[in-house]
Amino acid sequence: MDPELNVSSRNYIVDDIHPCYESYNLTFIFTSNPSIVCVLLYVFLGSLCLVTICGNLLVMISIIYFKQLHTPTNYLILSLAVADLLVGVLVFPFSMAFTVTSCLYHENLICKIRDSFDVSLCTSSILNLCCISIDRYYAVCQPLTYRTKINTRVTLIVILLCWGVSVLIGIGIIIAGFSQGTCEEMCSVDVVVANTIGPVFSFYLPAIIMLCIYLKIFLVAQKQVKSIQNTTCRSTKSGAIVSKMERKATKTLAIVMGVFLLCLTPYFICVVFQPLADNPPSVPVIETLNWLALSNSMLNPLIYAFFYSWFRSAFRMIISGKIFHSNLADTKLI
């Protein structure tokens, strides 16, 4: 996710700030004698990529293998993990190989393919989070009808729609010229329009919807807490336990969404306002925001492991290799 830089800045970008490129006859190539900073940079980004892939693989294997985790909410989490895994597999290597400077000086199809993957997977992540927020709304606000409205069939249809829309938005935005790493010069008016419409539909609108839904869930949960505190009958205690579990799940997923917004909001603000600024952000700032946004794909599995005891149990069994020695699919995770 690398916003376009002014063409006039191309003459000094690489020499000034990029430790891995050097100029040769007015062209910029990857240096054959990388500095320590360059090596450390790629070691760090490579480690980030590896952690992202392994973490999301753990989430995917856990949900697929353990029957206890076969729930509509976890299927949505699985879809989110797939998007994050693909970010690690596809976007990270492309972004490492074709950084801001590389993209600016290699105007080819590969650069646009990288952008398309980037936009599609980012959109898929936020649409999955939007669907998760809707799932939590029904679980907390309409618990009596939740299982009839949100079942496996409905969840799978929603997941397919999320991915279909994400692919279409990714292709459409790249065709329209969304400059999150555009590899060719564009009319400034086109850049402003593309950089406004794209983020509105792929980020800002879904984010506002999610915030409104979680605010509604919070208000309803507060009422449920007061209601539970005012009752003492045994049947209500049973319902209280279920309600407490739902609120914990909602809190955890709200944290996932909050981390997502913290990671991506700075980038999308930069994307929208950069074409309008007289002095656009420097390349180091743009690259930092880009990798902050991408690092969200690494953080989600860590959040699951920290807040969900059953995910921690599943992770331990997978890492220790127990699932390869015996059938533990029906194991009760605690």
Q: Convert the pLDDT of each residue in 17-37 to its tens digit.
A: 456 666 666 555 556 666 787
Token pair for residue 279? 């002095």
The model's pLDDT over 168-177, given as tens digits with 9 standing for 90+, comes to 877 776 676 5
Q: Which residues, including other chains, have CB under 8 Å from residue 124's CB and lie 6 or more apart? A: 79, 83, 162, 163, 166
Instruction: Please state the pTM of the whole predicted model.
Output: 0.78
* CA–CA distances in Å: residue 315 to residues 7, 41, 251, 252: 48, 29, 21, 17
**DSSP for residue 204:** I
Closest listed residue to residue 124, CA positions, set 177, 167, 72, 186: 167
The model's pLDDT over 253-296, given as tens digits with 9 standing for 90+, comes to 678 778 888 888 888 888 777 766 677 777 677 778 888 888 88
Token pair for residue 94? 């492309």
Report pLDDT for 92: 85
* CA–CA distances in Å: residue 216 to residues 211, 219, 226: 9, 5, 16
CATH number for the domain whose boundaries are 7-324: 1.20.1070.10
Q: Looking at the predicted structure, is the pLDDT value of residue 236 above 60?
A: no
Highest mean pLDDT among 2-6, 157-161, 209-213, 322-326: 157-161
Q: Where are the alpha helices (DSSP H) in 274-307?
A: 283-307
**Three-class SS of residue 78?**
helix
The model's pLDDT over 209-227, given as tens digits with 9 standing for 90+, comes to 888 888 888 788 777 767 7
CB 190 within 8 A of CB 197: no
**What is the share, in percent, of the chain residues with pLDDT greater than 90?**
17
pLDDT (mean) for 81-107: 73
Q: Looking at the predicted structure, is the pLDDT value of residue 183 above 70?
A: no
How many CB atoms within 10 Å of residue 185? 11
Report pLDDT for 91: 85
In the numeric block, the tokens 């709304």 are attached to 137
Closest listed residue to residue 252, CA positions, set 219, 291, 186, 299: 299
Q: What is the amino acid identity at position 226?
A: K
Closest listed residue to residue 186, CA positions, set 7, 17, 330: 7
The model's pLDDT over 45-84, given as tens digits with 9 standing for 90+, comes to 889 999 999 999 999 999 999 999 999 989 999 999 999 9
Closest listed residue to residue 179, CA positions, set 306, 253, 331, 286: 286
Report pLDDT for 248: 67
Closest listed residue to residue 294, CA positions, set 132, 159, 173, 117: 117
pLDDT (mean) for 121-148: 87
